[in-house]
Structure 1
Amino acid sequence: MYRNIIRKIDDWRCSRLSQQAFVFILAAVVGLLAGTGAFVLKRLVALISRLLTSHFHSSSANWPLLFIPVIGIVLTGIFCRYIVKAKLANGTSQLIHDLRNKVYRLKARITFTPIIASSITLGFGGSAGSEGPIAYTGAAIGSNLARLFRLTPGMMRLMVGCGAGAGIAGIFKSPLGGALFTLEVLRMPMTTFSVLVLLVTAITAAMTAFVLSGCTLDIPFDQSIAFDAGLIPFVVLLGVFCGVYSLYYSFIMKRIASLMRAIANPWVRNVAGGALLAVLVFLFPTLYGEGYGTVGKVINGNFSSLLNDSLFFADGSGAWTLILVAG
């Protein structure tokens, strides 16, 4: 039945609209769906996390953290190997690989399976981001809608990039962030038409996620002190430090990933990875899940939250706590 509806819509647009005009309409639909997907992903992660950690005590260590992440990694492995039967890790890397090899037809199941896998991983404490999965989901939404309406390969590539940007815009509620992700990371051609379509998709996705979440921000920032121009040199130094640190982070991440890939048995690999994560989360519970809640508290001056639920709990912790824990 839905095929007949799609065919009627396609026949109507072919007789009434140019392909460029229709792409703008399709871009808004992609943004709406990707923004909704980002909202669903956030809510699923929060629900699972709340069910597993609502009984925790903030003033002492919580021993269940030693096995909850292991269970999450194993469940995600089972979901990917036996239900989806595909690798869903490194969504951004996979997307870049697909675009580089001109693979614009993404499987329909990718429109929802990364959301499920990411919800399990993050909800059970996996210290990872939701950006890659939702970008891959958005790209699949754009790809499948473009395929349904028989768009040209060039337009299909555009919808894949716009869908990925919409996913990023929705998860961060930031249209500019989603647009820059597509232009800089995915290297989408920067023509007037493509940028305008991308902006329509990113703004729609960000506003959809923003409205569905009750018009709230994930990281609220209470700026009560005016910016001092004398801090500019320190801001520059911070930028340099963060750039160098990102290289260190990428190096360590690649080394750990190569060590894990060296383990042939997937069950052993899942348990080993989960156990390593569990130890880190037990010692530093702020690593549990995405961590946006903790980031929001730290930005607003609540440094003591860094040691909540841990062996190192202490009242009245100050700025040095942030430095020591981060180090």
Structure 2
Amino acid sequence: MDAIPVDPTTRHRAAHLGDFTVRPRMLLITGWALLVGGAGAVAALALLRLIGLVTNFVFYQRFATSLVAPGRAHHPWWLVLGAPVAGGLVIGLMARYGSEKIRGHGMPEAIEAILTGGSRVAPRVAFLKPVSAAISIGTGGPFGAEGPIIMTGGAIGSILAQHMRLSADERKTLLVSGAAAGMAATFNSPIAAVLLAVELLLFEWRPRSFVPVVGAVAVSTVCRGFLLGTAPIFPVATAGLKVTAGDTALCVVAGVLGGALAVAATWLVYRAEDGFARLPFHWMWWPAIGGAIIGLGGLVEPRALGVGYDVIDQLLTGRATVSLIIGILVVKTLIWALSLGSGTSGGVLAPVFMIGGAVGAAEGLVFPHVIPGFWAMTGLAAVVGGVMRSPLTGVIFTLELTHAWGAALPLLVSSTAAYALSALLLKRSVLTEKIARRGLHLTREYSTDPLETFFVEEVMDRDDTVLHADDSLDTALTATLRCGDAGRDGRRLFPVDLGDEDAPLAVVTRRRLLDASAKASVTGPATTVREVSRPATVVLRPDDTLRRAAYLFAEHGVTEAPVVGHGPGGRVVGTVALRHLLYARRHDLTEEVHRQRLLPRQGSGRSTVVDGSGARPAPEPARREAADV
């Protein structure tokens, strides 16, 4: 086939379009993310101080900003019962007349902003969310600060991004940078914050987003050291830590028990939400009813109120009494799940830490002693992995909270066991269920895009047919018919030799030739191929991936493109159409559902292929043929 010149501008554009990790943009977004990280740390400090202020004022009638547990001292029954109700009333009014986005525990709202709102968060949410969370937690709500700070930090990043000319993906990166920065500053857990961002917010692991988020988290963690210190939140002494094989096996049991509790708590949250939705009055009043539930629980176990960092510390260091363990396990789980279903404002991580630590501490009453708090740590990692469907985040969170790095393997076993049970029994997590109820779909499985694993040259139509610019339409149509059925369907693209080495690559479809021929037979003189051809909008290379081809097709609104080799003169070696992209998907489907026995049965002398239906298809074909199955 004759060499067909390619326009240098088109060639340059084709070589660079689809590269979505543009280095200058990544560095620019990283620079802005560093500022967002510092702001996230300040926001985390402000929220913690605001929670302390409200708690001290309501339960101790003093002005102080230090975090204090509501249940540390004895309070009148009317205060324990009435404070959460009053807090719920205030939150209901703020949500109705301020912004409904303050309802909930923060992470689903951040996910929804990413999925449907172009990562845009209203500025008022950055103010109302932490204030509402401080009121909710400060009046006894059994919630954590991390969900609100995720929404607040995310709002900071989003507001900054909205003042600049950025894409939705770049706004998402800054939103998640702020959210992760706030999380890292709250718990002094940079690695867990990054993992949480990847597993729950970014929906990708790519340099364009990962690098800025890490930069924001790093700045936030350094700032946190100056503002709140660098010590672990719940330090655990690991001297004498020696985990036997039997202990590791028991971690599976601990994980299953933690996963069962996670499943029950998740189920209870959404049954409560369904129950509140059936109430015959406005949702503005629901948080007050949730507050009444909190108050009743506080009368039974006062230590279940508030954030409960002091209780988590006792559980993880082995200092909790049996009565406290049982009280937290029962009361905290019930009041947290039921009140969260009312749509009040508050996070889920700190309650999950406490509930997980309690179930682990209860297991430690029966399981062999390892070190004080060991089984509480495994329970914490398990419940986080089961409730949030983020097993790695559960492990790293526990390690960064306690600095018990020697317990990494047991925590990984228990968290994964809980994650597996939760995935088997529940379709969605406590976070994604709320997203699904709003009519959105959120994937929780990461896998390689099959379009990334195939190259254009593996699926393209290889054809040496070249049309000449001065050919008549009848001659060109006759030439295209020699290409077989693919040429008769009217969709095949054919390169056109314009006879000028400096001319750009031109193409024409058989359908365009047919239409022009029909028009010429009625209206006038014959038309040549030159008059109906057009410059190629998209030019691909044999070593381009199908993913890049798909992006270019979508960007330019085309369904077929010529493939030009790397040799001298830019020789056209074939064409790729939209239908070829299915080859990769079919290959992926083949690998997932076609089952084979590759080694022969003993004594049979030959291998067999077994699929789920019991049929015996032929042995596995080569890669290209497998894509056609």
Q: Which SS does the other structure have where 1:277 is aligned?
A: helix
1:161 aligns with 2:164: no
Higher helix share goes to which structure? 1
Deviation at 1:237, TM superposition (A): 2.2
Counterparts of 1:169 and 1:300, CA distance in 2: 22
Match of 1:293 in 2: 310
Instruction: Establish whether residue 249 from structure 1 lines up as the match of residue 257 from structure 2.
Output: no
What is aligned with 2:494?
A: none
Give a deviation string over 1:214-234, Cα, whole Å, max 9, x none.
x15573324054212123223
> Is residue 89–residue 287 contact of structure 2 (8 Å, CA) maintained in 1?
yes
1:326 corresponds, among 304, 325, 329, to 329
Q: 1:239 Cα deviation (Å)?
A: 2.1
Give the match's secondary structure for 1:229. Answer: coil
Of residues 124, 129, 152 in structure 2, which corresponds to 1:137? Answer: 152
Aligned twin of 2:48 = 42
SS in 2 for 1:151: coil
Correspondence 1:252-263 to 2 at 5 A: 252-263=268-279
Q: Does 1:78 align with 2:93?
A: yes
- Whether 1:229 aligns to 2:235 is no
For residues 270 and 107 of structure 2, the distance between their equivalents in structure 1, rounded to whole angstroms, comes to 15
Secondary structure of residue in 1 paired with 2:98: helix
2:212 partner letter: V
Corresponding residue for 1:25?
31
Q: Corresponding residue for 1:12?
A: none
Question: How many Å apart are 1:296 and its aligned residue?
Answer: 1.0
Report the Cα distance in structure 2 between the residues aligned to 1:86 and 1:321, rounded to whole angstroms: 35
Which deviations, in whole Å up to 9, do the C-alpha atoms of 1:250-304 show, x marking residues without a partner? 000111121112224245423322211110122111221111121112322332x
**Does the Cα contact within 8 Å between 1:35 and 1:208 map onto a contact in 2?**
yes
Number of aligned positions between the proteins: 296
In the superposition, relative to structure 1, how do residues 57 and 37 fare at CA in structure 2: closer, same or farther (>3 Å)? closer
Is the CA contact 2:157–2:174 (under 8 Å) kept in the aligned structure 1?
yes
- 5 Å-filtered alignment, 1:135-214, equals 135-213=150-228
* Higher RCO (C-alpha 8 Å, min separation 6): 1
> Matched residues in 2 for 1:19 and 1:94: separation?
27
Query: Is the deviation greater in 108-117 or in 217-226?
Result: 217-226
The answer to whether the aligner puts 1:94 opposite 2:97 as a matched pair is: no
* Matched residue type, 2:249: P
Contact 1:114 1:136 in 2 (8 A): yes
Shift of 1:62: 4.7
After superposition, the Cα gap between the structure-2 partners of 1:160 and 1:325, relative to the gap in structure 1 and judged at 3 Å, is closer
Structure-2 separation of matches of 1:144 and 1:301: 44
Q: Is the 8 A contact 2:72 2:303 kept in 1?
A: no
Match of 2:57 among 34, 51, 74: 51
Identity %: 23
Q: Flag the 1:268–1:85 CA change in 2: closer, same or farther, 3 A.
A: closer
Counterpart CA distance in 1 for 2:75 and 2:162 is 53
Letter in 1 for 2:148: P
Listed one character per residue, the Cα deviations across residues 160-196 of structure 1 (whole Å, up to 9, x for unaligned) are: 2222222222222211121111100124321123212
Q: Distance in 2 between matches of 1:210 and 1:286?
A: 29
Instruction: Name the structure 1 match of 2:352.
Output: none
Residues 142 and 160 in structure 1, CA contact (< 8 A), matched pair in contact too: yes
8 Å contact kept, 1:63–1:282: no
Is the CA contact 2:118–2:168 (under 8 Å) kept in the aligned structure 1?
no
Aligned twin of 1:313: none
Check conservation: 2:153, 2:178, Cα contact below 8 A. yes
Q: Matched residues in 1 for 2:236 and 2:26: separation? A: 42
1:63 positional shift: 4.4
What secondary structure sits across from 1:186 in the alignment? helix
* Residue identity matched to 1:223: A
Asked if the contact 1:27–1:197 (Cα under 8 Å) also holds between the matched residues in 2, the reply is yes
Kindly state the Cα deviation for residue 105 of structure 1 after the two structures are TM-superposed. 1.8
Match of 1:284 in 2: 301
Which is higher, the Rg of structure 1 or of structure 2? 2
Aligned match for 1:105, one of 120, 126, 132: 120
Which whole-Å CA distance do the structure 2 matches of 1:277 and 1:118 have between them?
Answer: 15
Q: 1:222 to 1:104 in 2, by over 3 A?
A: closer
User: Deviation of residue 124 (structure 1)?
Assistant: 0.4
Provide closer, same or farther for how the CA distance between residues 218 and 254 of structure 1 changes in structure 2, counting only shifts above 3 A. Answer: farther
RMSD across aligned C-alpha pairs, in angstroms?
2.4
Misfit runs of 4+, over 6 Å: none
Q: Is 1:240 equivalent to 2:256 in the alignment?
A: yes
More divergent stretch after superposition (51-60 vs 196-205): 51-60
Cα distance in 1 for partners of 2:147, 2:264 equals 20
Counterpart of 1:4 in structure 2 is none
Find the residue that maps to 2:53 and give its secondary structure: helix
**Distance between the aligned counterparts of 1:47 and 1:60, measured in 2?**
17
Change (3 A) 1:192 1:72: same
SS of the residue aligned with 2:212? helix
Cα distance change, pair 242–210 in 1 and its aligned pair in 2 (3 A): farther
Paired residue type of 1:43: R
